[in-house]
Every structure is written in structure tokens, then in C-alpha cells.
Structure 1
């Protein structure tokens, strides 16, 4: 498999969903659609570490890279995802260079970081720690989520942090923070500022999109989109299926 990290660095267009339903069956159904990757969302779902490992197994069987959006920028959360075999992590609510540096430190082995070499699934349960460390140094993806005005204010410093592979825009939380702080700029304008800064820094950018059409528009400007989620698709599908019947339905 071509390294996901390499594909991100080369800015090859990629699109995949969040997985937020705590179910390997749901993960298997989504994987069957052949997205470019899966992103298991533990920040906004009741998916525990043991289930994360099983969902990564589903991705492995399908030949798809699995990312994990971790609960928080904590070493134990990041290590648990990577030890389970995730291709990388998406770290939410990174608003300063120091927080970005912490994400790198938790996710990368020395000398780039301070991650410990655990005996988990990614290391073959102790059978291949040296090989795992070598592969992780080459392939582990570290993405940080830009979703606050504070992050935008500190964006140039965040973009300069070594070891960050991609900055990911969370437009929902960004718009909420803008409204709460009474910002004069629109969310679209702030996103344009982020894209311009990332372009100057030659840093890949990703964004969340709710639907196909929005994804198509974003992929003209950037190369990485997380589109919707399994729960979103299920909600939309059941709303359509169980809408009130009309005479034409019969």
C-alpha cells in the first residue's frame, strides 16, 4: 500500500468518512464503499480503545488506511491509537504552537518525539518492535485540527512546527467560535486565510465536508477531505426511507 503520509505530502486528492458508530459491522459496510481512508472518531463518539483496534482490523482487511481522531491531545490517547495500528492521528483543538509540538511529541518516536515503544498490535505484540519503530518513523501521520480563532491567530507558528503532516480545518467549531466572539469575518473568509497561510508554508490542508458537492468544490483547492460520517449517512438514509408516504408511493 502506498503510504498515506506520502500521499498527503504529495497532495493527492483523497476523501473518506468519519466512523462514529461503535460497530465493526458499520465499519465493514463503510469500508466496502472503498473510500481512500477511514477516520475513527473517538472525540465525539462512545468508541473505546478495544473497539478502535477492532475497527482498525476491519480497515486492514479492506486494505484501507485508518486514522483516529483522538479524544484529546494526551499521550495516552495518541499512543493507544497508534499502538493499535492506526496509520495516524487527528488531534482536535490545537490552538498554539506548543500544543502542536505536544501532538508531535506524543505521536513520534525519539529523536523527533517522545513516544514509548509499547508491546501492542502495531508492534506484533512484542514480536517486531524494531520494525514497528522503523515503519512508524516513516509512515505515521500527524494531523492537527484548526477550529478556534486562537488557532487562526497562531496559525503561522503552528504551521512552522516540524513533524506536522497536515492541518485540518473544522468549519463547524470554527464558525461557533467566530459567532461566540463576535468576529467580523465570515467563516469562509477565515478559511481562505488559513488556506493562504498554509500555501505560503507549503503545508497540506484538509477540511470537513458534509456532502459530495461540497467535497468536490473543496478538492479543487485542497487535497484531503473528511466527508460526513457513518452516522450522518444512516440518519439521512432513514429520514428518506421513512418520510411520510404520499399517493405517488403506492
Structure 2
């Protein structure tokens, strides 16, 4: 899938499925890219991936004709956003967005002038997106993570920011944001589900994509059925541990 096709599908609010990578293993990422996911997101915020690993991971993803690479950057700052895009990511997921001003800053960091402040240096992105700034502005997608109390309170204004392609729920932080004692606290399930409804309704009203991280394919299907337009499933580290444990138990039986 080309960057232009992916951006069009995102902006068309089509159903899209992605995968999450936290391990610095380009070979593993390459194998996963050939499974058929629409995108793989490399986690530079909490993942175990450095800059060289990010470049190698994006290169591995690009070996698949059907999958594109995105990056969850470590901070809402022009430097990591620009480096991820220069390395060949077709989009960035920006964490801890609290208000419309911060969302607008994320968009500006991802866009070349006159729409933003991105510095020109498409080291790899010219191979994937192209060397023309206008094309990159058109084909690069930007998502604001909704995961803080302030972000949830301001989600309608965030969704209305010009140039923002969508919002993306970080469920662990969001559950804590609505009062959870930990990321899986069942005592705030009602508040959490209400927050998820508010986010997806705000995105729908603004005509932008609504994304969410999910722990399993069944949950991804559920959230898409509820109205989210794209969903990421689990992570390579989680699946590695889970499958290993399953086989260990099977061998013991």
C-alpha cells in the first residue's frame, strides 16, 4: 500500500487494522509485515527501539507491498516527529496531547511550510512518500493520543484541529485518567467505556479517524464494531511471551 493510499483510507474513515512493535528486531518486524496488517506502528515512547532500530524496522516494513510503517514518537516535539518521518514513517502517533494547541503543534511539526515547521531532510521518506514537500504534506498522517484527563476533557476541540487526521486512544493511561488504580482496574469500567464513547463520537462529528490500541484481535473487532475506524492489536513482545507460555503449558500436560 502506498502512503497516499493509506492516508486516503484513514481520511475516508475506512476500517484499518494494525500491529504494534516494541522489540528492536527488524527480522521479526519483517515477518509480521508480511502477515497482512495494514500498518505496523513502532513504539519509540515505551518500546525498546532506538533510532537505528526504528530505521531498520521501517525498512523491514517496506518490504511488504501491503503494509505501511508508523511511529509512536516519544514526545510532542518537532525533532522526534521530523526524524520519524525522515526515516520513512508514513505517519506519527503523538502521545499525551492535552488540548487543541498541543495538537496543532504536532500537526505543524509533521508538515512542511507553509502548513508547518518541518525541516526538509527526507533521508528515507523520499523513497516511500517522495521528495516533494506538497506530496509529503498530503500523504503524511498525524494522530493525537487521547490518554490524559485534559485530553479527554478537550477531545472535541482536539478533533477539530485543522490538519489532524485522527485521534488515538491509549487505553492504559486513559483508564487511569478516569480514576483507575491501575491500567486494568475493573472498578472504573463504566467510566472507561463512557470515555471511549466520547472519543469516537467526537472524531465522528469532526470527520476524522478514531483509533485505539487493543490487547487482542477480538477486542479490536469489538471496537471497530462500536465505531472506531482503526485499531492496533497487542504487540510483538506480548505475543512472544503469551505463545511461549502456551507452548510450555502444552508440553507439561
TM over 0.5: yes
Residue 243 of structure 1: CA displacement?
2.1
Whether contact under 8 Å (1:122, 1:132) holds in the other structure is: no
> Which residue is equivalent to 2:243?
237
Return the alpha-carbon distance in structure 1 between the equivalents of residues 53 and 232 of structure 2: 21
Aligned twin of 2:140? 140
Structure 1 residue aligned with 2:83, among 80, 85, 92?
A: 80
1:9-24 matches, within 5 Å, as 9-24=11-26
Task: Tell me what 1:205 maps to.
Answer: 210
Aligned pair 1:187/2:195, yes or no? no
Instruction: Quote how far apart the aligned CAs of 1:180 are.
Output: 5.7
Instruction: Within 5 Å, give how 1:22-37 maps onto structure 2.
Output: 22-37=24-39
Distance 1:6 1:171 in 2: 26
Query: Is the partner of 2:42 in helix, strand or coil?
Result: strand
Within-5 A mapping of 1:1-250: 1-2=1-2, 3-63=5-65, 64-118=67-121, 120-123=123-126, 131-179=131-179, 186-220=191-225, 221-243=227-249, 245-246=251-252, 249=253
Contact (CA 8 Å) 1:142, 1:166: kept in 2 or not? yes
Distance 2:209 2:180 in 1: 28
User: What is the deviation of 1:239?
Assistant: 1.0
Normalising by the residue count of structure 1, what TM-score does the alignment of the two structures yield?
A: 0.91
Aligned-partner SS, 1:142 = strand
Q: Gaps spanning 5+ residues in structure 2: where?
A: 182-186
Runs of 4+ off more than 6 Å: 181-184
Query: Matches of 1:130 and 1:86 in 2, distance apart?
Result: 12
RMSD of aligned alpha carbons: 2.2
Match of 1:243, SS state, is helix
CA separation in 1, counterparts of 2:148 and 2:155? 10
Distance 1:79 1:95 in 2: 21
Secondary structure in 2 matching 1:38: strand
Task: Tell me the number of residue pairs that the alignment of Structure 1 and Structure 2 aligns.
Answer: 244
User: Max radius of gyration: which structure?
Assistant: 1
CA distance in 2 between counterparts of 1:219 and 1:66 reads 21
* Matched-pair contact (CA < 8 Å) for 2:30–2:63: no
- Counterpart CA distance in 2 for 1:131 and 1:61 is 20
Q: 1:105 touches 1:114 (CA, 8 Å); kept in 2?
A: yes
- SS where residue 99 of structure 1 aligns? helix
Distance in structure 2 (CA, Å) of the matches to 1:18 and 1:183: 25
Q: Distance in 2 between matches of 1:32 and 1:209?
A: 21
